[in-house]
Amino acid sequence: MKTTNELVMSVRRCLGNASRPATEQLDDMAEYVNDAEELIEYHGDSDSLAELMDAELREKLHDELAVANPTTQHHVQFVAAYMLAHEEHFGAPWVVN
């Protein structure tokens, strides 16, 4: 399992640069973990959410964060990391309808 700081650093590595300081991203990540838990619970699993993600960004994060036998918490961390990466990359929050 990664710490919040490790998740933020993973996102920063995937993007190659960041528009905001890591301290701001750390604050956001704590909120994104809570949001990710709610999204996964609402949608039933993270696979259905993956279909709604930008494919290129999702694969970059997957390469960075993949583990052999992911647990529910790994899925939560991945979705939270995607939320941060999406906002950094596209300049807007990831909206799931």
pTM for this prediction: 0.87
67-92 pLDDT per residue, tens: 888 888 899 999 999 999 999 889 89
- Give the residues of the chain that fall short of pLDDT 50: none
Supply the DSSP string of the chain, one letter for each residue. Answer: ---HHHHHHHHHHHHSS-SS-HHHHHHHHHHHHHHHHHHHHHHSSHHHHHTTS-HHHHHHHHHHH--SS--HHHHHHHHHHHHHHHHHHHSS-----
Q: Of 70, 63, 93, nearest to 80 (Cα)?
A: 93
